[in-house]
Structure 1
Amino acid sequence: MASVARVLIDTPLPQLDRLFDYAIPLALADQVVPGVRVTAPLRAEGRLADGLVVEVGDTSDFDGALTPLESVVSAARVLAPEVWALARRIADRQAGSANDVLRLAIPRRSVAVERKWLAQGAPREVPRAAHPVAGYEGGVIESAVDDGGRVALRSLPGVVELADGSWVGRWAVTLAQAAVRAVIDGRTAILAVPDYRDQEQLEAVLSTMVPAGTVASLDARRTNAQRYAAFLSCLAHPDDSGHTPRIIVGNRSVVYAPAAELGLIALYDDGDPLFAEPLAPYAHARDVALVRQQQQGGALIFAGHTRSVEVQRLVELGYLHDVAPVPLVTPKVVPTAAQQQRQAGDGGRVPSAAFRTATEALQAGPVLVQVGRPGYVSLLACRRCGQAARCTSCAGPLQLSSARSVPSCAWCGRIAGDWACSECNNTSYRMVTRGSGRTAEELGRAFPGTRVIVSDGDRPLTHAPGEPHTLVVATRGAEPIAAGGYAAVILLDGEWMLQRESLHVGDDCLRWWSNAAALAAPGAPTVLVGVGGPLAQALTLWQQHSYAAAQLVDRRALGFPPALRVASVTGKPAAVQAALDALGDVPVRDVLGPAALPAEGPRALDDDFVRAIVRFDYAHGDAVAAALRGAIVRQATGGRRPPAGRKRGRPAPTLRIKLDDPEIL
């Protein structure tokens, strides 16, 4: 019988990110098994701490007497071995702590839910019949699932009707069919999507293919009790020695879901910024999926109407296999020059060719108009000199929430009824950028007798009626699915969208436009307004992967990700310099900075914070992460010992390390 437990203590302190050996009391010998929650004494802190048992054994490397565990919290083995291996690897890769990863992987405990699960056992119902993956020749997707292949999948555009009368994107059917094949083979499938809209489509398809108990939904919209119940359903029950395959669906954190027998892990639209984790250790879901597939095997699929530059790099390296539909399905995309004559009735935003297309299409079905901004008017400027209208309190941009409202600050919300231009003292303003509300108002006047529907962050819609004389105005990413597909899609604000300063601006715009065009009915036109060049060509020819390949060539020449990896080091000047010094002999390409952080936004960092950027090759990633991680630990433990009887008084850590930081680009 094992007498030693190796425990990961639940603590935010980076210096405690390791396993501690504890003695197993005889009274707990049968209860202490890998994966259970325990409480354990921390002698240095003089308190009890929560922890997770990672391993049990008979020996310890510690020479002294081991402190015994205090208690076992529950019999549920919430830390699966494969999740621990993944958490440890991701933490080491990202210069973070395993606890930070496990907080994303394991929901907070719900006692009532856990007791119910322990009492009822795990369901064993699984689907009985596989569905062939339609639209791809030669069974290439089926072969990848069966043999553990790695695929960059060009998703089929369009929408399809399910047996219950609902409509979903064709991409959702493809991923669901691949997942069902894995489950029938006795293995678990993990499907990760950017947000709830995509998740609802996947769940709708799966509900027509598999028994209800086969699908587990892990997403942030659910209550903690619901998430914990779904999480427990993915685990092996203490009374059940077998493995019940599942289809696990969720957002970015679902890539950490327990799956002892992993058959498939798939990401849809991996270029979406929602896959970037904003919490430490800041690991992108795409990177987590790549690491997990390396550890556990199984198939790996990156699907989407566009292809991220990161995935294109892996395709060119031969790590991923490029798979396209056969025959190739391409929506009808028509680019329209910005200098074309505009229609007066719509505020001058829609060129005459796009206006005619929308007018004709409204007779046959709904028309989608994609805009770049939510709200009414998102940016104002002085009518006389053109200076941007700014808040006198925080310098944030002024906006209008409705036609009769007074300007207010987009950052602090302060009303600016007495605004005057700081340059010329003029008190009148003009609209610079129109949001979804203003656009709907203008198009309602331009198309009298047409029903106008708005879908944005304040009024999100997942589905729209497929009736003629219906105009849907939606912000990028909030486009609802119309029954039968849209009779036409109009893409506005392209010029404005491309003005954003970001390395990924072209990738993002192409993804937004492609996802909207994919909602059109077969043969229906998509009109791209005011954009030309390589982006318009890639969308028109439906060759988004070619644009990603061209971007990769440019980034290799410039030394930008994903050709290289980068790490941002942010904090007080002394702390940043200490972290850079810790790199020592680690081979890096170069170090940019340190430089002062720009004071932008309502929550800008202190003026004395600086940031340095380290660029390095993939082969040296582990060495860079280990060196920077050591700097974090040294800063956390660098305070002087306090006098006897006084509490430890270390300054709050200021150092923040982010590997593959998307914000700096």
Structure 2
Amino acid sequence: MTESRRIARVLLDSPLPQLDRLFDYALPTELGEVPLGVRVRVPLRTAGRVVDGYVIELDTEDDADRPLSEADSVVSTVPVLPSRLYRLARRAADRAAGSASDVLRLVIPKRQVRVEKAWTADAPVPVPTDAQQAAAARVIDEYDGLTAVLDESGRAAVEAVPVSREGVQGWAALLAAAAVHTLAAGRSSVLVVPDHRDLDRLLAALEVLAPAEAVVRHDSRLTNPDRYRSFLRTLEDAPCIVVGNRSAVYAPVQAGLVAVWDDGDPLLGEPLAPYINARDAALLRQEQEDSALVYAGHTRTTDVERLVAHGYLHDVRATRRVLPRVVLSTPQEMDAPTAQRMPSSAFLSARNAAADGPVLVQVSRPGFSPSLVCADCRAPARCAHCGGPLGATHRGAVPVCAWCGRGARAWACPACSSTKLRLASSGSERTADELGKAFPGIRVIVADSAHPVEHVADKPSLIVATRGAEPLAEGGYRAVVLLDGPRMLQAPDLRIGEACLRWWSNAAALAAPGAPIHLVGVDGGIARALATWNHSGFARAELAERAPLHMPPAARVALVEGTVAAVARGLASLHDLALPPDAVLGPVPIESDDYPPRVRALVRFDYGAGQRVASTLRAAVVAEAVSARRGKGKSTRSALSVRLDILDPEL
């Protein structure tokens, strides 16, 4: 009689693409009972070492003669990888032509033995009080149809009301109320925000609306023990509210709601392989778990608008819309070359408002003057050593190169031989210097990456802030002035219009009710979209312009990069997929010192072909990795790499 044996199918914790599959290992009897999802140590014969992995499947087989390596040890009996998390990671990795282990590395923290030993999976079930449920219901009732979306596991794009209540921003109250509503039904929620500032504002809203024991943080600011403790809490059956940054979208709870705030923020895009945006991961998760899905924002991205146009998302708006009071200053009004960088209407509005409370002035860049130009011919001032841009830290300072840090004491323009320099643009510090002279007696506060400010008091003041660094003001800003709009729009970015509208709208949402918001020097469709608060209309227009060009999100785009031969083989593997003749752009050489030289190409394809394109390109990456392993390539850098869903494709 053939003897049976236990086997485990293990996913190795390795970034190598050729190891992104399940490996069979025999389980010796001395290991005892091995649960699914636990960490194990297994031998990797090809490398001659022992590696970490996760038990994905357990089975028995009668073919004891099949040569199998035995699992070395069980690291921990805690099942840190539930089956639902593995399915989500596998699905996300396959869509992005990446490795499941790369996705899992984002969500499963390193083991903390003391925390694990103290952990018991018996957390009480948190229940919101009647007062908390009533407060949440009042917020949700402000949005037409949102209750049905939450109760029926629907999908919605929600335009958040740009107001604040008792120091809590409207969007934060919206997400907190939706989570409390879901918690009252006995289900967990996952709330994803771009950065720590948004996280703090959402936690402040949850302090008011949700029971404290239900809130679980998931962000990089936690210590390793606290992060592991929070992760273990998400493995428990008791429902909770997970709040965190982009990787929180993979939290291993059985979610009843997944909500993403401000999905256009680039911080929601994972900068490491497989480069999955939290917006896309939330879509995959909702599809898998049948949870409610909410994209909330003051603006509407073209990605979300495409889903609304297809009927995949419901368009949810406030029952009573609150529109900011936007005042437009056209480019024709901007001909005063003075320290007064704002037109008279905005200047008078700011001066009157500053007598009563804080006034926000948004600028595009930090620092004093980020760039200098020749005073005579306006040619950009460049470093004579490396060609980098010259800038000044303060008025009258020696110009310094932003690249190599050298001072340019004896600079001369190579175009006209002039030795005179002129400030080409004003950063936050120079703007504060100018406004301090124009508003004597008013305190001026700089808020940027070098001077972070979270809150300002309800006192007369001018707050000069870079985009995204605007602090909260008690009672809201009495006026908001949006400077440098034309300069922001000049950035060579496919989505710069979306980005600018998002920056301006988020700043406008910090204003007090009825306070004027001045957009300086901008006209056209984007100015009308802000003035009428018609963000969905602007997104539809942007989407219509990109569709004939097959640019995202009208089509998906893959970036293929590597050696000349590897890229050629990768692109050749796509020939059988019958893509359009103009699907491939490039390849073009990459300017670098790498040898052999590297090139990159873009592949544009419809969403229906996404699975076939991703699997084909992934197979090409694995083939190149295996070839290099066999000695055909000695470079430490991969011969071929693939990145899908490029938001701003550029060759």
Given the two structures, how large is their TM-score scaled by the length of structure 1?
A: 0.92
2:67 match: 65
Q: Distance in 1 between matches of 2:279 and 2:629?
A: 41
Instruction: Verify: 1:21 aligned to 2:20, yes or no.
Output: no
Q: What code does the residue aligned with 2:238 have? A: T
Instruction: Verify: 1:285 aligned to 2:278, yes or no.
Output: yes
Residues 374, 179 of structure 1: alpha-carbon distance in 2 compared, 3 angstrom cutoff:
same
* Contact 2:398/2:407 (<8 A) preserved: yes
Deviation at 1:662, TM superposition (A): 2.4
1:576 match: 567
1:110 match: 112
Instruction: Verify: 1:637 aligned to 2:630, yes or no.
Output: no
Q: Distance in 1 between matches of 2:458 and 2:390?
A: 37
Q: Distance in 2 between matches of 1:631 and 1:195?
A: 35
Once the two structures are superposed, residues 88-126 of structure 1 have per-residue CA deviations (whole angstroms, 9 ceiling, x without a partner) of 0111111111111111121222223222325x8545434
Q: Distance in 2 between matches of 1:655 and 1:148?
A: 40
* Contact 1:83/1:256 (<8 A) preserved: yes
Deviation at 1:578, TM superposition (A): 1.0
Q: Distance in 1 between matches of 2:68 and 2:255?
A: 37
Q: Distance in 2 between matches of 1:60 and 1:20?
A: 17
Q: Distance in 2 between matches of 1:159 and 1:6?
A: 52
2:249 match: 255
Q: What code does the residue aligned with 1:389 have? A: A
Instruction: Verify: 1:566 aligned to 2:567, yes or no.
Output: no
Q: Distance in 2 between matches of 1:329 and 1:605?
A: 55
Secondary structure, counterpart of 2:332 in structure 1 = coil
1:654 match: 639
1:315 match: 308
Equivalent residues, number: 642
1:616 match: 605
Deviation at 1:655, TM superposition (A): 1.7
Q: Which runs of structure 2 are paired with 1:75-114 in the superposition (5 Å)?
A: 75-114=77-116
- Give me the identity figure in percent: 49
Q: What code does the residue aligned with 1:106 have? A: I
1:224 match: 224
1:488 match: 479
Q: Distance in 2 between matches of 1:659 and 1:626?
A: 11
Residues 135, 357 of structure 1: alpha-carbon distance in 2 compared, 3 angstrom cutoff:
farther
Q: Distance in 1 between matches of 2:5 and 2:147?
A: 44
Secondary structure, counterpart of 1:528 in structure 2 = strand
Once the two structures are superposed, residues 360-396 of structure 1 have per-residue CA deviations (whole angstroms, 9 ceiling, x without a partner) of 1112221100000011111111112211112233322
* Contact 2:37/2:54 (<8 A) preserved: yes
Instruction: Verify: 1:396 aligned to 2:388, yes or no.
Output: yes
Residues 16, 558 of structure 1: alpha-carbon distance in 2 compared, 3 angstrom cutoff:
same
Secondary structure, counterpart of 2:575 in structure 1 = coil
1:239 match: none
Q: Distance in 2 between matches of 1:254 and 1:227?
A: 11
Q: Distance in 2 between matches of 1:341 and 1:270?
A: 33
Q: Distance in 1 between matches of 2:42 and 2:141?
A: 54
2:493 match: 502
1:327 match: 320
Q: Distance in 2 between matches of 1:517 and 1:640?
A: 55
Q: What code does the residue aligned with 2:611 have? A: D
* Contact 1:335/1:540 (<8 A) preserved: yes
2:445 match: 453
* Contact 1:37/1:50 (<8 A) preserved: yes
Residues 629, 61 of structure 1: alpha-carbon distance in 2 compared, 3 angstrom cutoff:
farther
Give unpaired runs (5+ residues) of structure 2. none
* Match for residue 617 of structure 2 among 625, 628, 647: 628
Q: Distance in 2 between matches of 1:640 and 1:172?
A: 50
Q: Distance in 2 between matches of 1:213 and 1:404?
A: 56
* Contact 1:342/1:348 (<8 A) preserved: no
1:340 match: 333
Deviation at 1:133, TM superposition (A): 4.4
Secondary structure, counterpart of 1:638 in structure 2 = helix
Q: What code does the residue aligned with 1:366 have? A: P
* Contact 2:587/2:602 (<8 A) preserved: no
Q: Distance in 2 between matches of 1:111 and 1:460?
A: 36
2:152 match: 147
Residues 507, 581 of structure 1: alpha-carbon distance in 2 compared, 3 angstrom cutoff:
same
Q: Which runs of structure 2 are paired with 1:468-617 in the superposition (5 Å)?
A: 469-589=460-580, 590-597=582-589, 599=591, 608-617=597-606
Q: Distance in 2 between matches of 1:540 and 1:174?
A: 23
Deviation at 1:413, TM superposition (A): 3.0
Q: Distance in 2 between matches of 1:442 and 1:604?
A: 44
Given the two structures, how large is their TM-score scaled by the length of structure 2?
A: 0.94
Once the two structures are superposed, residues 455-506 of structure 1 have per-residue CA deviations (whole angstroms, 9 ceiling, x without a partner) of 1111111211121x21111000111110001110000000100101111010
Residues 632, 328 of structure 1: alpha-carbon distance in 2 compared, 3 angstrom cutoff:
same
Q: Which runs of structure 2 are paired with 1:168-179 in the superposition (5 Å)?
A: 168-179=168-179
Q: What code does the residue aligned with 1:145 have? A: L
* Contact 2:190/2:249 (<8 A) preserved: yes
Q: Distance in 2 between matches of 1:500 and 1:379?
A: 15
* Contact 2:557/2:649 (<8 A) preserved: no
Secondary structure, counterpart of 1:377 in structure 2 = coil
Deviation at 1:227, TM superposition (A): 1.9
Once the two structures are superposed, residues 243-292 of structure 1 have per-residue CA deviations (whole angstroms, 9 ceiling, x without a partner) of 11111111111111111x21100001101111111110111110000000
Secondary structure, counterpart of 1:562 in structure 2 = coil
Q: What code does the residue aligned with 2:160 have? A: S
* Contact 1:382/1:428 (<8 A) preserved: yes
Q: Distance in 1 between matches of 2:182 and 2:5?
A: 36
* Contact 2:17/2:622 (<8 A) preserved: yes
* Match for residue 302 of structure 1 among 295, 305, 328: 295
* Contact 2:144/2:317 (<8 A) preserved: no
* Match for residue 157 of structure 1 among 145, 162, 185: 162
Give unpaired runs (5+ residues) of structure 1. 162-166, 237-242
Secondary structure, counterpart of 1:472 in structure 2 = strand
1:431 match: 423
Deviation at 1:554, TM superposition (A): 1.1
Q: Distance in 2 between matches of 1:60 and 1:456?
A: 66
Deviation at 1:651, TM superposition (A): 5.8
Deviation at 1:343, TM superposition (A): 6.4
Q: Distance in 2 between matches of 1:443 and 1:2?
A: 78
Q: Distance in 2 between matches of 1:604 and 1:473?
A: 42
Deviation at 1:410, TM superposition (A): 2.3
Runs of 4+ in 1 over 4 A off after TM superposition: 60-63, 135-139, 341-344, 603-607, 640-643, 648-651
Q: Distance in 1 between matches of 2:447 and 2:577?
A: 50
Residues 61, 90 of structure 1: alpha-carbon distance in 2 compared, 3 angstrom cutoff:
farther
* Contact 1:191/1:248 (<8 A) preserved: yes
Secondary structure, counterpart of 2:517 in structure 1 = strand
